[in-house]
Amino acid sequence: MLRLFLMSLALLTSRVLAAPPLLPAAPELPSQAYILVDFDTGAVLVEHNADQALPPASLTKLMTAYVLAEEIDAGRLGLDDPVQVSRNAWAQNPLFSGSSLMWLEPGKPVTVRELERGIVISSGNDATMAIAEHIAGTEAAFADMMNRYADVLGLSATRFLNSHGLPAEGHQTSARDLATLAAATIRDHPDRYAVYSELSYTYNDITQYNRNTLLREDDSVDGLKTGYTSEAGYGLVASAQRDDMRLISVVLGSRSQTTRKTESRTLLNYGFRFFETLRPVLPEVPLAAERVWKGVAEELRAGVIDPVVLTVPRTSAQTNLQIAVNTPLEAPIARGDVVGHVMILRDGETLSEVPLVALEAVEQSGFFARLWDALVLWFTQLLGSA
């Protein structure tokens, strides 16, 4: 037996723009692969060749920095720990000739904090080598760590052979995997993610500027990383937040620095213009109060425990909740037990359905109280069916 509650909620405020009857076609970009994802829901708004395995170039450093953040948060590494720079990590290593550098020198003091900025802001290949050796002993061992984290995060098209992204056969990832890695960076390590928004960094009396020039042109953009090799072309993983919506864009195999920026901006603007992140139900807020039989309490409050977040087209239409409670409710009831469902509707169409759960526990009452409730419930149901 279901009891229905209808709630018309003014969930969409003046920030919501009226949408056209049909969404315009998703942007078609000249880059080799791209994807646009809602950070909160994982909804894919635009994609093209998103699962194609491609060389990531310096976008590899997103995983290098992620492993570094994991080590810091686990307490195995301190930001002010000194790091010994080997000749492998020396800026003059011929491997790094012509590539982006932090300009490390053997014997010159450097800390984990400085190397993190050298990796994220300066995109220094020497910095990645230094941190890889410091954490794992050798770069090969560090690449093994990177691949284990890739497995944990579900990066199915990804395989790392080094910490920096210089060309190596079989060193690859995909646009979808990079979007997943970017989301993990933002979600799992917000303090470390803040470094991605810094515009410049000075080490060894050399000031370098963040290569993600969207940071200086769009206040909503706060990360992440650029990449380039002649093999990979130009790539950019970007994230932006406007109001309460965060999007992640990935562009791979673009023709130039300018086009990767323009393509990323096109994806982000499309997502923010025509979609929104909807939070129609707040956790721990009672949506229904229902009679409980045979319990020490006579009423149960029900709602949702986990946030409900949806990605939907922008529209001025009102969003409604339809709540159904499975009655009668009988104790014992534990917190989190499903007692019904919540339908989220817009213009009569169902956007989503989620379980309605008990927000509190209700224990059974004593024997005589249960017996009395059983009799009352029996008569109530008898009269209701007459």
Closest CA to 161 of 91, 57, 87: 57
Alpha carbon distance 92, 101 (integer Å): 10
How do the pLDDT tens digits run along the chain, 386 residues long? 445 444 433 332 222 333 344 688 999 999 999 999 999 999 999 999 999 999 999 999 999 999 999 999 999 999 999 999 999 999 899 999 999 999 999 989 999 999 999 999 999 999 999 999 999 999 999 999 999 999 999 999 999 999 999 999 999 999 999 999 999 999 999 999 999 999 999 998 999 999 999 999 999 999 999 999 999 999 999 999 999 999 999 999 999 999 999 999 999 999 999 999 999 999 999 999 988 878 888 899 999 999 999 999 988 788 899 999 998 888 899 999 999 999 999 888 899 999 999 999 998 877 766 666 566 656 666 666 55
Residues 48, 155, single domain; the answer is yes
Alpha carbon distance 22, 241 (integer Å): 25
HSE of 302, CA atoms in CB hemisphere, 13 A: 28
CB-CB contact of 82 with 108 (8 Å): no
Alpha carbon distance 279, 335 (integer Å): 22
Residues 239, 326, single domain; the answer is no
**Boundary of a domain, candidates 244, 275, 306:** 275
Residues 115, 207, single domain; the answer is yes
Helix (H, G, I), strand (E, B) or coil at 337: coil
Q: Phi-psi category of 239—alpha, beta or left, where left has phi over 0 and alpha has psi -120 to 50?
A: beta
Alpha carbon distance 252, 233 (integer Å): 7
Cβ neighbours of residue 263 closer than 8 Å, sequence gap 6 or more: 29, 30, 31, 34, 236, 251, 254
**The pLDDT value given to residue 384:** 63
Instruction: Tell me if 23 is assigned to some domain.
Output: no
Residues 138, 89, single domain; the answer is yes
**The pLDDT value given to residue 18:** 35
Residues 267, 291, single domain; the answer is no
Closest CA to 172 of 43, 46, 33: 33
Residues 209, 292, single domain; the answer is no
Alpha carbon distance 189, 265 (integer Å): 25
**The pLDDT value given to residue 99:** 93
What are the catalytic residues? 58, 61, 123
CATH of the domain at 297: 2.60.410.10
Domain count, the chain: 2
Residues 269, 317, single domain; the answer is no
**The pLDDT value given to residue 23:** 80
Counting every residue written for the chain, the total comes to: 386
Alpha carbon distance 117, 123 (integer Å): 8
Instruction: Count CB-CB contacts under 10 A for residue 80.
Output: 8
Residues 291, 169, single domain; the answer is no
Axis crossing angle, helix 112-120 with helix 61-73, rounded to the nearest 10: 150
**The pLDDT value given to residue 293:** 79
Range of the domain at 324: 2-14+282-385
